[in-house]
């Protein structure tokens, strides 16, 4: 298990919760995670009248502290490792990492969730590039262990379509079959190309009509 763990990416300041869960699993399996318990008393200094049971318990605690601290430090990138050479206990390192990175990650999650909820598509822009922008937010959320179901993503895209797409939205809502993310992207691409052709034809017809009117004006003026 330790060899498998050694092959894992070391924590570099990103994806803290993801990294923390892996470390917790390892330390729990090694039966040393208790060392990080906030309510655990510090190792008492040796006394002359210590019983063999107390001596044995202290020795085990010291060994487990050494193992726990070593695994946490070994799971850090070189830059982060260099911040804790003089930090005495595993608990101090653990709590400092939580204070710095867990709060930061939670703030990032809140920001990205707010971004996703407020995201809107606009008529003046092409739809597919805007969907790409939305996917960037989704991918960032997934790196923070927030995985959105595919059908949720599909329905969210439909709901966020601008007013000019109301006919398409109405048509798609009447379909009972579930649509995959890949299918909805194909549909939107085809629909957008169709919109573009219709708009070009309208503009072309408008210019032709205007030319015809202008061409007739001299005759009407005679």
DSSP the chain: -HHHHHTSPPB-SSSHHHHHHHHHHHHHHTT-GGGG-TTPPPPPPP-TT--HHHHHHHHHHHHHHHHHHHHHHHTB-HHHHTT-TT---HHHHHHHHIIIIIHHHHHHHHHHHHHHHH----TTS-HHHHHHHHHHHHHHHHHTT-PPPHHHHHHHHHHH--GGGHHHHHHHHT--S---HHHHHHHHHHHHHHHHHHHHHHHHHHHHHHHHHHHHHHHHH-
The CA–CA distances, whole Å, from 77 to 59, 121, 216 equal: 30, 40, 79
pLDDT for 64 equals 94
Rounded Cα–Cα distance for residues 73 and 81 (Å): 6
More confident residue, 60 or 168: 60
**Range with the lowest mean pLDDT among 44-53, 114-123, 195-204, 205-214?**
205-214
pLDDT for 134 equals 92
- 55-64, 164-173, 198-207, range with greatest mean pLDDT: 55-64
More confident residue, 6 or 125: 125
pLDDT at residue 75 greater than cutoff 50: yes
Rounded Cα–Cα distance for residues 156 and 102 (Å): 29
pLDDT for 58 equals 87
pLDDT for 36 equals 93
Quote the tokens at residue 192.
């957008």
pLDDT at residue 69 greater than cutoff 60: yes
Q: In the chain, pLDDT over 70 holds for what percent of residues? A: 84
Rounded Cα–Cα distance for residues 14 and 38 (Å): 24
pLDDT for 7 equals 58
pLDDT at residue 209 greater than cutoff 60: no
pLDDT at residue 65 greater than cutoff 80: yes
More confident residue, 91 or 4: 91
Q: Specify burial of residue 208 (Cβ count, 10 A radius: 0-12, 13-18, 19+).
A: exposed
């Amino acid at each position: 298990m330790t060899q498998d763990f050694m092959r894992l990416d070391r924590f570099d300041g990103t994806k803290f919760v993801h990294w923390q869960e892996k470390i917790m699993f390892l330390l729990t399996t090694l039966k040393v995670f208790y060392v990080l318990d906030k309510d655990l008393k510090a190792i008492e200094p040796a006394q002359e009248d210590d019983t063999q049971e107390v001596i044995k318990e202290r020795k085990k605690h010291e060994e487990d502290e050494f193992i726990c601290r070593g695994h946490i430090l070994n799971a850090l990138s070189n830059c982060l490792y260099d911040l804790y050479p003089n930090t005495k206990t595993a608990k101090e390192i653990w709590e400092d990492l939580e204070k710095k990175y867990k709060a930061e990650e939670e703030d990032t999650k809140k920001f990205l969730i707010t971004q996703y909820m407020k995201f809107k598509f606009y008529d003046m822009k092409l739809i597919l590039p805007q969907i790409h922008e939305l996917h960037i937010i989704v991918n960032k959320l997934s790196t923070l262990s927030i995985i959105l179901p595919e059908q949720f993503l599909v329905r969210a895209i439909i709901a966020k379509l601008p007013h000019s797409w109301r006919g398409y939205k109405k048509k798609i809502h009447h379909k009972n079959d579930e649509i995959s993310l890949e299918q909805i992207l194909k549909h939107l691409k085809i629909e957008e190309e169709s919109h573009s052709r219709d708009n070009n034809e309208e503009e072309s017809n408008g210019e032709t009509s205007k030319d015809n009117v202008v061409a007739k004006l001299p005759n009407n003026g005679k």
